Amino acid sequence: MARVVVDVMPKQEILDPQGQAVAAALPRLGFEGISEVRQGKRFELEVADDVDDATLAQIAETLLANPVIENFVVRRAEA
């Protein structure tokens, strides 16, 4: 078995109201120097060793991410 991580983030041109809310809250909580926050999603999958990268990309594109407004990265994690 292998662990695969899929990180999904809104595309840069897409508004991110959750990230903006976090960015606005940081100075009120005493944290300075943060100019932008983008919020995304992380998925961890346990997959059989014979599942290939093309299949993983297809899973990410069709189920885990909305490719119209989100980018995704699929990577195999270290054991």
Tens of pLDDT, residue by residue over 48-78, are 999 999 999 999 999 999 999 999 999 999 7
Which among 11, 1, 9 has a CA at the least distance from the CA of 76? 1
Q: What is the 8-class DSSP label of residue 33?
A: S
Is 79 a residue whose pLDDT tops 70?
Answer: no
Is 5 a residue whose pLDDT tops 80?
Answer: yes
Question: Can you read off the two tokens belonging to residue 44?
Answer: 């961890």
Average pLDDT over the chain reads 96
Is 45 a residue whose pLDDT tops 80?
Answer: yes
**Gap between the Cα atoms of 39 and 10, Å rounded:** 8
Query: pTM of the full predicted structure?
Result: 0.87
